[in-house]
């Protein structure tokens, strides 16, 4: 077949002569791309003839076109052998929640450390299926046994740290960007602990506390310390909490129901079983009410640690736990009010596989930044009510006190119909007629003023009458 030798022959055959390509210098990899008519332009290859793909970030195009898209993230898969490709992103379409939104309620958040002893954060709608939140890890510094809470408009994570005579405290405004706040010391006098493990946040009626494990003079025990300023940059000296049974103790965690403190801990050593102690005070008076394999967890899982109780909205108590040496995270539940019986067989948390020492926090009800207690299962639990003597303007006892004063003013006597409280001194009042004990009553005049019009207001015409006026 003869080859075309003239421009007319090329055009007639529907081809574009090379000298009619758009002006300009091609970049490496560019190919002639048809634009219109007899025109073409140098451009990026489109994988078989098309141009590049414009990629937008929420409507804003990126600076350069794309010839390939790479989807990354946990569980993301791409499939399809034809022109249509399917990108599968797990999670049921749920976006990460705004953890500080006033509308955030009924969710769970947790922190757990990975195999490199770094804290990671997760969220969940039910406390069972967990989704990673923020960076991986959340905190790049060393930090085992993390716990998470919310206070003063910020999220806080406490972790065990090195050196071993203190723990590490980070905070974040959004649960994503974390900043080191301080390393509270756990030195007691001149004694330096050789281990500081598993710091757990606990909020009581008198404020915030951290419950943790210290190894002091070779013995592992439970201790309490608390912040001494609002910024949480200064802390008290640790105080030992006897748990009511002998031997080394690790991984304490407390839940308060009514006026009783329930302290879960682990008998450290050969068996590593979860024990339960109770007390009417936070830091003293505990009695061990359950030891050994009393709930069957050890029989089901072997050596276990990191118990974490969480109260659910329907009255159940869920206990999270870990098999020793990061062999898996599990949970068990009971409806028993005293937490001493009825625990279910442990269930594995597959979505937290590969992590250890999960410390879930249940955000209960509408999240209120000024009342962090609403977000914690340890305080103001469902079914509890205030108790004890009333004070201030109230007298008697809870749950049914009576009103004795109004803004500090005591009102005496018994009223009859139409009477109102009337001050007789800065601190006392009696029931009197509405005239207040002097002068006549103010009456709306029916003759001194015409009916009101739009914009009129009531004013006094004399000592006893009210009239409408503009």
Greatest mean pLDDT range, 2-16, 94-108, 283-297: 283-297
In this structure, are 209 and 255 located in the same domain? yes
285-301 pLDDT, tens digit each: 999 999 999 999 999 99
Q: Are strands 420-423 and 86-88 parallel, antiparallel or unpaired?
A: unpaired
In this structure, are 330 and 184 located in the same domain? yes
Contact 321, 337 (CB under 8 A): no
In this structure, are 466 and 393 located in the same domain? no
When pLDDT is averaged across residues 378-407 and rounded to a whole number, the result is: 68
pLDDT score of 408: 80
When pLDDT is averaged across residues 202-216 and rounded to a whole number, the result is: 93
- End-to-end alpha carbon distance in the chain: 104
User: pLDDT-derived band of residue 439, with 50, 70 and 90 as boundaries?
Assistant: very low
DSSP codes, 22-47: PSS-PPTTEEEEEEETTEEEEEE--T
In this structure, are 232 and 365 located in the same domain? yes
In this structure, are 356 and 232 located in the same domain? yes
For the domain that residue 318 is a member of, what is the CATH number? 2.115.10.20
In this structure, are 250 and 391 located in the same domain? no
- Distance between CA atoms of 335 and 425, rounded to whole angstroms? 55
What's the number of CA atoms in the CB half-sphere (13 Å) around residue 75? 8
Q: Which residues contact 315 (CB under 8 A, 6 or more apart)?
A: 335, 382, 383
Which of 102-106, 338-342, 366-370, 463-467 is predicted with the least confidence, judged by mean pLDDT?
Answer: 366-370
Is the pLDDT higher at 40 or at 319?
Answer: 319
In this structure, are 455 and 338 located in the same domain? no
Report the predicted TM-score, pTM, of the whole model to 2 decimal places.
0.58
pLDDT at 412 over 80: yes
Which of 4-13, 314-323, 450-459 is predicted with the least confidence, judged by mean pLDDT?
Answer: 4-13
Range(s) of the domain holding residue 308: 108-375
Contact 326, 115 (CB under 8 A): yes
In this structure, are 470 and 427 located in the same domain? no
173-194 pLDDT, tens digit each: 888 889 999 999 999 999 999 9
In this structure, are 445 and 425 located in the same domain? no
pLDDT at 275 over 70: yes
Q: Which residues contact 44 (CB under 8 A, 6 or more apart)?
A: 29, 30, 31, 51, 52, 65, 67
333-344 pLDDT, tens digit each: 999 999 999 999
Last residue of a domain, one of 355, 375, 395: 375
133-173 pLDDT, tens digit each: 877 888 888 888 889 988 888 889 999 876 689 999 999 98
Query: How many domains does the chain divide into?
Result: 3
- Distance between CA atoms of 78 and 56, rounded to whole angstroms? 20
Coil, strand or helix at 323: strand
pLDDT at 347 over 80: yes
233-246 pLDDT, tens digit each: 999 999 999 999 99
- Per the prediction, the chain carries an average pLDDT of 76
35-52 pLDDT, tens digit each: 665 566 666 554 444 456
Question: Residue 300 corresponds to which tokens in the numbers above?
Answer: 């089901």
Coil, strand or helix at 301: helix
Express as a percent the part of the chain with pLDDT over 90: 33
Is the pLDDT higher at 11 or at 116?
Answer: 116
Answer whether residue 354 is part of any domain.
yes
Answer whether residue 381 is part of any domain.
no
Residue among 119, 173, 182 nearest 151 (CA): 173
């Amino acid at each position: 077949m003869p080859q075309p030798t003239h421009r007319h022959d090329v055009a007639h055959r529907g081809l574009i002569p090379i000298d009619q390509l758009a002006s300009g210098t091609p970049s490496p990899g560019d190919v002639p791309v048809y634009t219109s008519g007899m025109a073409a332009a140098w451009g990026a290859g489109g994988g078989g003839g098309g141009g590049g793909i414009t990629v937008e970030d929420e409507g804003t195009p990126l600076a350069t076109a794309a010839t390939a898209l790479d989807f990354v993230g946990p569980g993301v898969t791409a499939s399809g052998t034809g022109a249509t490709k399917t990108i599968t992103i797990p999670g049921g379409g749920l976006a990460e929640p705004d953890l500080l939104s006033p509308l955030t309620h009924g969710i769970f958040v947790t922190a757990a450390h990975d195999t490199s002893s770094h804290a990671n954060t997760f969220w969940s709608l039910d406390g069972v299926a967990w989704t990673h939140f923020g960076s991986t890890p959340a905190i790049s510094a060393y930090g085992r046994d993390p716990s998470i809470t919310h206070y003063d408009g910020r999220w806080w994570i406490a972790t065990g740290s090195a050196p071993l005579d203190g723990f590490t405290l980070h905070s974040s405004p959004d649960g994503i960007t974390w900043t080191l706040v301080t390393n509270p010391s756990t030195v007691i006098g001149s004694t330096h602990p050789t281990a500081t493990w598993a710091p757990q946040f606990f909020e009581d009626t008198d404020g915030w506390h951290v419950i943790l494990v210290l190894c002091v003079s070779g013995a592992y025990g439970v201790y309490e310390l608390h912040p001494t300023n609002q910024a949480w940059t200064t802390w008290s000296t640790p105080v030992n909490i006897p748990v009511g049974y002998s031997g080394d103790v690790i991984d304490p965690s407390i839940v308060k129901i009514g006026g009783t403190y329930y302290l879960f801990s682990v008998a450290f050593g050969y068996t590593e079983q979860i024990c339960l102690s109770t007390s009417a005070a936070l830091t003293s008076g505990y009695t061990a009410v359950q030891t050994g394999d009393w709930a069957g967890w050890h029989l089901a899982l072997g050596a276990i640690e990191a118990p974490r109780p969480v109260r659910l909205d329907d009255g159940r108590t869920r206990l999270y736990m870990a098999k020793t040496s990061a062999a898996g995270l599990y949970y068990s539940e009971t409806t028993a009010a005293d937490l001493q019986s009825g625990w279910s067989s442990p269930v594995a948390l597959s979505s937290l596989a590969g992590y250890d020492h999960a410390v879930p926090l249940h955000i209960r009800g509408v999240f209120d930044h000024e009342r962090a207690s609403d977000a914690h299962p340890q305080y103001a639990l469902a079914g509890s009510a205030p108790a004890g003597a009333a004070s201030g303007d109230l007298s008697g006892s809870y749950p049914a006190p009576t009103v004795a004063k109004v803004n500090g003013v005591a009102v005496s006597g018994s009223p009859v119909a139409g009477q109102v409280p009337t001050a007789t001194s800065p601190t006392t009042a009696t029931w009197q007629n509405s005239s207040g004990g002097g002068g006549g009553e103010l009456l709306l005049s029916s003759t001194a003023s015409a009916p009101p019009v739009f914009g009129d207001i009531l004013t006094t015409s004399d000592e006893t009458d009210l009239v409408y006026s503009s």
